[in-house]
């Protein structure tokens, strides 16, 4: 079954090293070569029969079919010298950026296979090096080598390839344990558990489960058709200094001397530090001779402010607020700003204070992000917006309504309805509050929106209706409400459902099949190989599911198998 050339998505997988491909030598793990050969031997990573039928080049690997009409092919480019990530430096990250630049027009997306120990530094650096990015660049790796029986490498690499191959997320991202993060928002938080990274001050961009859930409202937007610009001139003489109680002024003085040109100061709490006169004088003198000082909190979450005397004193000493940046992102931003030629000290400080690659949350947007992740009620946010910010409020109305729907905040939704907008409008991703509530399973919110007369079958940018999201989220009460309101799956949504039904049948997932049936899907639809879910269930020995499918096929027992809404 050969597809047209236009349905092929070509990826470049750049293998720089790291745990994922390591092998044991002399009792220790060292970077191992031959990752492509290992992937070629795994059916999950290469459909050899289909690749031959399509006449693909020998160096090209082909992922098995997905639920879309896209064939995902990829080429593995393995570095001659593979690195443990602890040995990675700015020079190696520049080499990665230049490799992406060299092959930018040849491929639709890029996956970088990298060690985890310094991956947060790598994603932050690359986010600043790659300007005007219009394709997905996703870094991934593993806590356990892919050659080990029980490992996370296969799942991480496959997820990164699927996301880069099926979607255009024009950012430098990190994919780990089924979650896609903005690259300059992550930090490593665990050395052994598979869930090794977190994004403390920004929700995840996407999550892989029974379906791919992408928060398009958080994904950075492509601005026009500007060409890719790679910034290779990154300043190496930048440093991190973590303050601690009683830190000697002499130590700080020694640390701030040339050749250091910029320092990220990791301070206490919300950006506070000692108020000793001699220490503040050292900071003031360093700032006056042109040293850039960027203030970041040692806390995982929260923002730097000058609410306390300690924070005000540091600001007065010439330090620039790093807002809610991670230390990794702050160091990368310093390196980038100092590498820009011909800028005055004030211009560099102004650049540091700007949100360049989504690395920091501006004060105006922070309440909205907190609301979307449950940290602040949307009703409180709406009340706090004064008449002076009415235009801003109106611009954010669709996103505010979606945030309210996500958190199940009926009071906020009712307030928005009284204000005259938001409940039927689509956000950046094309989703309405009904989409969001259906995906989250908030049946009370869904009921309220339907009673308010919102459109029941609006499709988002991915062509998904609220009904489809409710089915994939396994929210049977929401499915019942939507069906009662007249919702139907579109022909586009049903186009590839046969493969999904066969997958559920092979797992004996009767609940999942029942939800698709409740939503109006024909459970007799064949999968990509022409076999029906019934044949798949019988072959897999799933007798209960096979009996259920046979009863539907014969038209018997319909009342007994009906799902209550």
Do 224 and 246 have their domain in common?
no
Which residue in 167, 136, 153, 125 sits closest to 15, CA to CA? 153
- Where would I find the beta strands (DSSP E) of 246-291? 262-267
pLDDT digits over 132-147, tens only?
Answer: 999 999 999 988 888 7
Residue 28 scores a pLDDT above 80: no
Strand partners for 207: 179, 213
Least confident of 426-430, 518-522, 555-559: 555-559
Least confident of 13-27, 176-190, 296-310: 296-310
> What per-residue string of b and e applies to 54-68 under the rule 16 or more CB within 10 Å gives b?
bebeeeebbbebbbb
Do 223 and 247 have their domain in common?
no
Q: What is the 3-state secondary structure (H, E, C) of 216-236?
A: CCCCCCCCCCCCCEECCCCCC
Q: What is the pLDDT of residue 302?
A: 86
The Cβ of residue 466 has, within 10 Å, a number of other Cβ atoms equal to 32
**Mean predicted confidence (pLDDT) in 368-397:** 50
* Residue 361: inside a domain: no
Place of tokens 């403390």: 200
Give catalytic residues, as residue numbers: 116
pLDDT digits over 490-503, tens only?
Answer: 888 887 788 888 88
Which residue in 556, 551, 559 sits closest to 524, CA to CA? 551
Do 215 and 266 have their domain in common?
no
Output DSSP code: residue 272: B
Q: Whole-angstrom Cα distance, residue 224 to residue 268?
A: 41
* Residue 368: inside a domain: no
* Residue 366: inside a domain: no
Q: Whole-angstrom Cα distance, residue 129 to residue 171?
A: 11
Domains contained in the chain, number = 4
- Terminal-residue alpha carbon distance, the chain: 40
Q: What is the pLDDT of residue 401?
A: 80
Q: Whole-angstrom Cα distance, residue 298 to residue 247?
A: 15
Which residue in 365, 356, 352 sits closest to 393, CA to CA? 365
Residue 267 scores a pLDDT above 60: yes
Q: Please, are residues 314 and 284 in contact by the beta-carbon 8 Å criterion?
A: no
Do 251 and 269 have their domain in common?
yes
Last residue of a domain, one of 451, 472, 490: 490
Identify which has the larger pLDDT, 4 or 483. 483
* Residue 125: inside a domain: yes
61: Cβ contacts below 8 Å, ≥ 6 apart:
36, 39, 40, 45, 46, 51, 73, 74, 75, 76
Tokens standing for residue 206: 């996407």
Residue 373 scores a pLDDT above 60: no
Do 445 and 461 have their domain in common?
yes
Do 195 and 246 have their domain in common?
no
The CATH number that applies at residue 114 is 3.40.50.1170
Q: What is the pLDDT of residue 562?
A: 38
104: Cβ contacts below 8 Å, ≥ 6 apart:
135, 228
The CATH number that applies at residue 333 is 3.40.50.40
Do 105 and 249 have their domain in common?
no
pLDDT confidence bin for 343, thresholds 50/70/90: very high
**Mean predicted confidence (pLDDT) in 151-175:** 94
Do 195 and 272 have their domain in common?
no
Last residue of a domain, one of 465, 490, 515: 490
Q: Please, are residues 85 and 118 in contact by the beta-carbon 8 Å criterion?
A: yes
Using a 10 angstrom Cβ sphere, with 0-12 exposed, 13-18 middle and 19 or more buried, the burial of residue 286 is buried
Q: What is the pLDDT of residue 53?
A: 86
pLDDT confidence bin for 395, thresholds 50/70/90: low
Q: What is the pLDDT of residue 72?
A: 94
Q: Where are the alpha helices (DSSP H) in 130-215?
A: 153-166
Do 221 and 175 have their domain in common?
yes
Using a 10 angstrom Cβ sphere, with 0-12 exposed, 13-18 middle and 19 or more buried, the burial of residue 402 is buried
Least confident of 2-6, 132-136, 212-216, 371-375: 2-6
Tokens standing for residue 442: 């908030």
Range of the structural domain that residue 543 is part of: 495-554
* Residue 445: inside a domain: yes
Identify which has the larger pLDDT, 302 or 62. 62
**Mean predicted confidence (pLDDT) in 383-406:** 61
* Residue 124: inside a domain: yes
**Mean predicted confidence (pLDDT) in 272-296:** 91
* Residue 221: inside a domain: yes
Residue 242 scores a pLDDT above 50: yes
Last residue of a domain, one of 466, 490, 514: 490
The CATH number that applies at residue 521 is 1.25.40.20
Residue 29 scores a pLDDT above 90: no
Do 292 and 428 have their domain in common?
no
**Mean predicted confidence (pLDDT) in 33-41:** 89
**How, if at all, do strands 292-297 and 262-267 pair?**
parallel
Using a 10 angstrom Cβ sphere, with 0-12 exposed, 13-18 middle and 19 or more buried, the burial of residue 193 is exposed
Do 260 and 217 have their domain in common?
no
* Residue 535: inside a domain: yes
Residue 265 scores a pLDDT above 90: yes
pTM metric for this prediction: 0.70
Do 14 and 134 have their domain in common?
yes
């Amino acid at each position: 079954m050969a597809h047209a050339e236009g349905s092929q998505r070509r990826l470049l997988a750049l293998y720089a090293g790291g745990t994922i491909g390591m092998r044991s030598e002399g009792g220790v793990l060292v970077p191992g070569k031959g990752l492509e050969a290992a992937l070629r031997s795994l059916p999950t990573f290469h459909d050899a029969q289909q690749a031959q039928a399509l006449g693909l080049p020998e160096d090209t690997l082909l992922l098995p079919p997905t639920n879309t009409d896209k064939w995902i092919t990829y080429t593995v480019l393995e570095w001659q010298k593979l690195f443990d990530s602890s040995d990675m430096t700015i020079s190696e990250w520049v080499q990665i950026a230049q490799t992406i630049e060299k092959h930018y027009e040849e491929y639709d997306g890029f996956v970088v296979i990298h060690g985890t120990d310094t991956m947060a530094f790598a994603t932050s650096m690359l986010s600043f090096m790659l300007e005007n990015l219009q394709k997905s660049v996703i870094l991934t790796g593993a806590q356990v080598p892919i050659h080990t029986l029980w490992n996370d490498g296969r799942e991480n690499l496959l997820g990164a390839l699927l996301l880069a191959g099926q979607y255009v997320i024009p950012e430098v991202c990190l994919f780990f344990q089924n979650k896609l993060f903005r690259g300059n928002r992550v930090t490593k938080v665990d050395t052994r558990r598979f869930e090794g990274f977190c994004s403390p001050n920004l929700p995840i961009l996407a999550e892989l489960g029974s379906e791919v859930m992408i928060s398009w409202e958080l994904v950075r937007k492509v601005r026009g058709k500007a060409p890719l610009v790679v910034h290779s001139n990154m300043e190496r003489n930048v440093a991190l200094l973590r303050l601690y109680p009683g830190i000697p002024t002499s130590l700080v003085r020694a640390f701030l001397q040339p050749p250091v040109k910029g320092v990220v100061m990791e301070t206490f709490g919300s950006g506070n530090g000692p108020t000793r006169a001699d220490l503040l004088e050292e900071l003031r003198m360093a700032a006056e001779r042109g040293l850039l000082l960027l203030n970041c909190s040692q806390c995982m979450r929260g923002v730097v402010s000058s609410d306390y005397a300690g924070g005000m004193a540091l600001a007065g000493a010439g330090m620039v607020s790093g807002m809610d940046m991670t230390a990794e992102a702050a160091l990368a931003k310093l390196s980038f700003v100092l590498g820009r030629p011909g800028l005055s000290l004030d211009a560099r400080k102004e650049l540091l204070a700007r949100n360049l690659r989504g690395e920091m949350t501006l004060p105006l947007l922070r309440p909205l992000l907190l609301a979307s992740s449950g940290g602040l009620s949307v009703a409180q946010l709406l009340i706090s917006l004064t008449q002076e910010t009415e235009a801003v409020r109106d611009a954010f109305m669709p996103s505010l309504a979606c945030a309210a729907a996500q958190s199940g905040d009926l009071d906020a939704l009712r307030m928005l309805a009284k204000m005259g907008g938001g409940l039927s409008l689509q956000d950046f991703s094309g989703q309405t509050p009904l989409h969001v509530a259906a995906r989250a399973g908030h049946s009370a919110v869904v009921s309220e929106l339907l009673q308010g007369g919102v459109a029941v079958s609006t499709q988002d940018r991915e062509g998904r209706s609220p009904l489809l999201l409710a089915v994939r989220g396994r929210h049977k009460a929401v499915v019942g409400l939507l069906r009662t309101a007249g919702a139907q799956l579109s022909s586009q949504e049903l186009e590839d459902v046969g493969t999904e039904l066969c997958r559920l049948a092979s797992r004996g997932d009767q609940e999942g099949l029942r939800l698709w049936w409740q939503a109006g899907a024909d459970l007799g639809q064949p999968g990509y190989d022409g076999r029906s879910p019934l044949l798949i269930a019988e072959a897999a020995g799933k007798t209960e599911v096979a009996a259920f499918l046979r009863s539907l096929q014969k038209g018997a027992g319909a009342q007994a198998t009906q799902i209550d809404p």
